[in-house]
Chain A
Amino acid sequence: FRIMAGKVKWVTDIEKSVLINNFEKRGWIQVAENEDWNFYWMSVQTIRNVFSVETGYRLSDDQIVNHFPNHYELTRKDLMVKNIKRYRKELEKEGSPLAEKDENGKYIYLDFVPVTFMLPADYNLFVEEFRKNPSSTWIMKPCGKAQGKGIFLINKLSQIKKWSRDSKTSSFVSQSSKEAYVISLYINNPLLIGGKKFDLRLYVLVSTYRPLRCYMYKLGFCRFCTVKYTPSTSELDNMFVHLTNVAIQKHGDDYNHIHGGKWTVSNLRLYLESTRGKEVTNKLFDEIHWIIVQSLKAVAPVMNNDKHCFECYGYDIIIDDKLKPWLIEVKVFFFSLLYVNASPSLTSSTANDRILKYNLINDTLNIAVPNGEIPDCKWNKSPPKEVLGNYEVLYDEEMAQSDGTDRDLRGRPGQSPGVKGSRARDSGKPVLTTWK
């Protein structure tokens, strides 16, 4: 047998102080990649290598990594949409009430991703949809890039001619993942606050996909556009207006280094409760929790649920003016920080940012590596409530299944921490939802 004594040995290929400080404060010991390590915080490139067929890497029971091998099923725009569409069809096939549709053929509970097509593969399907609403605007996003790079808006078919398979004028675009695009219906009626457009960034930690156990970080935030939003077409070219991605906003003249154009989710809640009322606000937040869990359920069947893995995601959500949340994208957490330091002219966004990320990593480590001790992957991945920090249980499939028969518990806050989203009240106040 193995003696599980000693301090956790860590490796990382991301030289960020918010990360390293967290390891050091736990008294963990830094080692090199080729040595015996217990915890490896990897970049996405590294995880690709670790789990690739060629390297034949075998992780032992006392080793943990911060990515699932095929996380891209969720974090690549085209695959996320593909998995959600597949999930919906499956539910429909088995006659699940979740897949119920309304009189227009739209899913009642599962219509949370804006209509999306892959290009060039679905070009013809896209054209069909486009023609139904020729005045609509669509947003083109490259599958393989981040930080708002390569994104543009179109409102005329001619603008995306080169993705047409039948196009004679341009050469056939290669199928490599770098060139593939997704095109989504642009949400041109976003909820505006102070006349400004914003999106929501929420952090979600997944410790296992089957059974699904996920946590939501209570301290999410809204990212505001620095320029006033107008849906007019003349503004289509102004990326500052339309994209709320911080990397783009940072270069706008109005970017503010103190608050970084960000609001906490609790501010959003206070504003919505004060101006719209409590019921619709609670409903909105319930829906947000719902769509996050559904997206995870959608990819759960295809995820390599390796027991050595956990992962933290950044969910980008836009709320429209009818208070309906839309899932735009899921990013691997930490991606943004990675790029931020790549260019010397971009310093870490704001002081608040650094503090948030430091605390996020801290709470994540407390859940993923219990007691800060050498991990044992055979553990049940069920941390006690006290270590959650700023996380709260979003969905715990095991608990949900065991509680399914017990209707009584629904009325009592805090009773079933996993089932319907706990009722944490200091920041947001998610009311127990009425999920099946």
Chain B
Amino acid sequence: AMLDPDRGLSLTIARVVQRLQGSSLHSQLERQARVSLHKPEIKLESLKEDIKDFLKTSGWEKKLQNAVYSELNVFPSPCHPAAPPEHIKEPLAYMRKAQGSWEKRILKSLNSMCTELNIPLAQKRPVNEQKELLNKWNEMGTDEPDLSLFRPVYAPKDFLEVLMNLRNPNYENGEQPSFRNHLGLIQVPLKVKDIPELKEDFSELGLNIGQLGIDDSAQVPPEFFENEHVRVGQKVLAEQDSAAAQQYVRQGCPTALRADLWALILNISNQPEDILYYEQLKSNVIQHNLLVDSLIYKDVKLTASNDDYYFVFEDYLYQVLLCFSRDTSVLEHFTYSSATPPKSYIQGKLGMEEYAVFYPPNGVIPFHGFSMYVAPLCFLYHEPSKLYQIFREMYVRFFFRLHSISSHPSGIVSLCLLFETLLQTHLPQLFYHLREIGAQPLRISFKWMVRAFSGYLATDQLLLLWDRILGYNSLEILAVLAAAVFAFRAVNLMEVTSLAAAEAVLADLSTLKVMPLLQIFLFATVT
């Protein structure tokens, strides 16, 4: 049943009001309003109007606007008021079921590791260990704990196997493969966009519109585009307008402005209470040891520490991820994520709800490569609490969709299907060839998309890509880029005769320039 738009709007308003009520912004606005009473321009007879004007001129209305905008971005539009909460998480029952099974598997894997190694999921640290850790807080990378017995709970390829086996029980998948069938690995009928729709959605990437990543290259005089774009960016920052910033970054961020622009879009201002909150998380880390900490260490050591760009920031990664695991505010995102945080029970009280805790406290079990979501952000933010907040916001807006099973257009399942469909439709020869030699394209591109290309692209290119994720508030660009990469290397790929050879052709993406690839694929390819 279609929701009457007015009803939808009032529901949205009600939800936003509810979320912002009692927030620190709310109390600050109240305080500001009260303080303004002393000002001469506030007159009793026109109190309401005068206070409103004051809030406008002092920039507080803009802050409120940004907060509302942030809420609208993050939370999905409400569906029918009678819909149960799980429909907000995920409307399709079979998807919910699949996510549930997947979660059970992960938890089982974690618990068995726990039992095998005889390590508790959580443990209070002895005082001397606490002291030691506090001293070493800025250089945890120099620690060499024995991690040989730990293994990642899962790797992207395990997750891909699960996605490949997703089936919609209401959908008749005939035995006969026909031209109507999808020949890729994903066999669920989700709606994905085609190139004409993508061109419309990503219209700012068009050929006749200036882009950073293309129109700021050495051959182009900066007067053509770059200088003006920088000027506009500075203006957007001066206005402190989140919505304007989001529109602006679709054409890319100048490097010097990127950190501030992303913070504006994500509505992160690093207030004293935010810093305090981070410090509180840090003290949680000091006091308690979690099993997932070892998983985090292992992941950082295996991935970021070996990366040409990110090894420098190893210590920051621990400082962010260990705190992240303990951050219960992250649990909020489960209202709109298809995932459910795993529960653990105090020893001996299995099944008793009053002895249940979410484990880890933030409900997110890291997998192999997880630290690579944080690493690129270290190029932008060197203050730990700000870095932390930016990452947390990026996670609850975007990254969580890359490792949970849902029907959301930015969810990994849709991205995979979008990728395969684009390839099959526009490069059918390549697609069939790769399929024939046992090199299903998704097997190669899956890991790129799960990691949002972190660790595969050069950092400056990755940041240009993530500019667009923020600008369009969507992860679909990842699937488009993946297809564009295949298109770019099509000639070489047509000549390979094995999966290994195909992997080799696509092993090194570090020299790719993402914006030209995207632009050509979307706007310059004959459809």
Contact = CB atoms under 8 A, between A and B. Distances in A.
A267 interface: yes
B312 A352 contact: no
A273 B212 CA distance: 15
Interface string B293-305: 0000000000001
A194 interface: yes
Interface string A51-76: 00000000000000000000000000
A254 B305 CA distance: 10
Contact of A274 (B221, B316, B380): B380
Given A195-B138, A228-B139, A259-B308, A426 B256 contact: no
10 contacts: A195-B316, A259-B311, A263-B308, A273-B256, A274-B256, A274-B259, A275-B379, A278-B256, A423-B218, A426-B218
A270 B139 contact: no
B218 A261 contact: no
B347 interface: no
A386 B217 CA distance: 18
Q: How large is the interface on B (under 10, 10 to 19, 20 to 34, 35 or more residues)?
A: 20 to 34
Contact of A270 (B142, B305, B313, B459): B459
Interface string B306-320: 111101111110000
A259 B306 contact: yes
Interface in A240-277: 253-254, 256, 258-259, 261-264, 266-267, 270-271, 273-275, 277
B309 A278 contact: no
Given A227-B142, A270-B459, A275 B259 contact: yes
Interface in A266-293: 266-267, 270-271, 273-275, 277-278
A427 B434 CA distance: 35
Interface in B110-153: 138-139, 141-142, 144
B228 to A, nearest CB: 15
A194 B314 contact: yes
Given A194-B378, A196-B312, A256-B306, A267 B259 contact: no
B382 interface: yes
A228 B315 contact: yes
Contacts of A352: 308
Contacts of B311: 224, 256, 259, 261
A2 interface: no
Contacts of B254: 278
Contact of A275 (B141, B305, B308, B380): B380
Contacts of B256: 273-274, 277-278
B255 interface: yes
A342 B346 CA distance: 60
Contacts of A270: 255, 379, 459-460
B258 interface: yes
Contact of B307 (A193, A259, A274, A275): A259
A425 interface: yes
Given A263-B308, A270-B460, 18 more contacts: A193-B312, A194-B315, A194-B378, A195-B138, A195-B315, A227-B139, A228-B142, A254-B141, A259-B308, A263-B312, A267-B309, A270-B255, A275-B259, A278-B254, A278-B255, A413-B221, A424-B218, A425-B218
B256 to A, nearest CB: 4
Interface string B205-226: 0000000000001100100000
A227 B309 CA distance: 17
A424 B217 CA distance: 10
Given A228-B138, A254-B142, A275-B259, A263 B380 contact: no
B306 A274 contact: no
B379 A271 contact: yes
Q: How large is the interface on A (under 10, 10 to 19, 20 to 34, 35 or more residues)?
A: 20 to 34
A417 to B, nearest CB: 14
Contacts of B255: 270, 273-274, 278
Interface in A105-126: none
Contacts of A196: 312
B142 A263 contact: no
A270 B309 CA distance: 11
A256 B141 CA distance: 13
Given A228-B142, A256-B306, A278-B255, A194 B316 contact: yes
B382 A275 contact: yes
A195 B258 contact: no
Nearest to B314: A194
B66 to A, nearest CB: 22
A359 to B, nearest CB: 14
A83 B117 CA distance: 64
Contact of A194 (B144, B313, B460): B313
Nearest to A258: B306
A224 B311 CA distance: 10
B312 A253 contact: no
Contacts of B138: 195, 228
A16 B359 CA distance: 56
Contacts of B315: 194-195, 228
Contacts of B314: 194
A269 to B, nearest CB: 9
A254 B138 CA distance: 16
Q: Which 4 A-B pairs have the closest CB atoms?
A: A425-B218, A228-B139, A194-B312, A273-B255
Interface string A3-29: 000000000000000000000000000
A194 B381 CA distance: 10
Interface in A401-427: 413, 423-426
A195 B139 contact: yes
A273 B258 CA distance: 10
B257 to A, nearest CB: 9
A228 B313 CA distance: 11
A425 B217 contact: yes
Interface centre among A259, A263, A274, A413 (most CB of B within 10 A): A274
B263 to A, nearest CB: 12
Given A227-B142, A267-B459, A274 B379 contact: yes
Contacts of B460: 266, 270
B456 to A, nearest CB: 15
Nearest to A426: B218
A262 B312 CA distance: 9
Interface string B254-277: 111011000000000000000000
B378 A263 contact: no
Nearest to B259: A274
Contacts of B217: 425-426
A278 B256 CA distance: 6
